[in-house]
């Protein structure tokens, strides 16, 4: 494929208190081998050279690990590919002459800080409410191998722990629900013996914090699982609901 010329429709917003708007930009000679963020770098270099403000967007590792990159591209969290974050999206997914719409995550619990950057501290507060375990650090720590765990439970816990907290599930949901995120964080501990000490308090506190942050309820449409770059399963929401019900029955 020859290099591409593209039209970008990008959300620009000076700060959280200023009204934003979509602004059109042209980029030329974009290689299909570029990542999406490299294409954004090209745009920003173009803007800086012309004396304009560059587009602010989150990024860090650019390897699909950190969960920082968070762009809503043509109506899809992380863009048209599957099982990838925005930084892993390549321009070969687009065609010469395309118009690409780029927006931040849209959720009341994720307020825009600037342009395409949103405040995801709500996820941190949910984690702080219960996303931890008690560990004996007195020097008499129990050997991990002395706790037998089934292969199935270990695999499911690892699958849940793969969540990177990017927020694509929230951005994809009509109700801006964080239940896939919270379900994954609850599940990774609920499936293991190490997570049983705080099990009841964990799920009650994390769900309460989720509601306090203003996230909506699950729509049952499954969009979150489809858009999740790590393929976190809806089974984790079901497990969280069971854990929550069990914790409340026990009191």
Q: Scanning the structure block, which residue is given the tokens 């994720």?
A: 110
- pLDDT tens digits, residue range 10-23? 999 999 999 999 99
Half-sphere exposure of 183 (CA within 13 A, CB side): 23
**Considering the chain, what percentage of its residues have pLDDT values greater than 70?**
99
- pLDDT tens digits, residue range 143-168? 777 888 999 999 999 999 999 999 99
pLDDT of 201 strictly over 80: yes
pTM comes to: 0.93
Side by side, the strands of the sheet bearing 99-103 are 21-30, 4-12, 99-103, 72-73, 76-77
Q: Is residue 233 within 8 Å of 155, Cβ to Cβ? A: no
pLDDT of 195 strictly over 80: yes
Q: Classify strands 72-73 and 76-77 as parallel, antiparallel or unpaired.
A: antiparallel
Band (pLDDT 50/70/90 cuts) for residue 251 is low
CA distance to 46, 47, 54, 186, per residue, from 51 (Å): 9, 6, 9, 48
Contacts with 97 (C-beta within 8 Å, 6 or more apart), sequence order: 4, 5, 6
Overall average pLDDT of the 165-175 stretch? 97
pLDDT of 1 strictly over 80: no
């Amino acid at each position: 494929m020859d290099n591409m010329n593209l039209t970008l429709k990008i959300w620009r917003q000076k700060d959280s208190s200023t009204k934003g708007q979509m602004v059109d930009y042209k980029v030329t000679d974009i290689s299909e081998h570029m990542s999406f963020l490299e294409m954004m770098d090209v745009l920003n270099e173009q803007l800086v050279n012309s004396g304009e403000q560059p587009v602010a967007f989150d990024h860090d590792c650019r390897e699909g690990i950190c969960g920082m990159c968070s762009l809503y591209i043509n109506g899809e969290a992380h863009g048209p590919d599957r099982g990838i974050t925005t930084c892993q999206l390549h321009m070969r997914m687009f065609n010469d002459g395309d118009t690409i719409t780029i927006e931040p995550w849209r959720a009341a619990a994720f307020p825009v800080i600037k342009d395409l950057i949103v405040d995801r501290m709500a996820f941190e507060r949910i984690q702080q409410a219960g996303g931890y375990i008690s560990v004996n650090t007195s020097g008499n720590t129990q050997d991990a191998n002395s706790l037998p765990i089934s292969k199935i439970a270990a695999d499911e816990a690892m699958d849940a722990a793969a969540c990177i907290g990017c927020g694509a599930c929230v951005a994809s949901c009509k109700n801006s629900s964080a239940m896939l995120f919270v379900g994954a964080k609850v599940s990774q501990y609920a499936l293991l013996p190490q997570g049983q000490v705080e099990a009841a308090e964990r799920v009650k506190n994390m769900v309460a914090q989720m509601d306090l942050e203003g996230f909506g309820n699950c729509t049952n449409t499954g969009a979150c699982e489809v858009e999740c770059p790590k393929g976190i399963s809806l089974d984790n929401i079901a497990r969280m609901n069971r854990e929550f019900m069990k914790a409340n029955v026990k009191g």
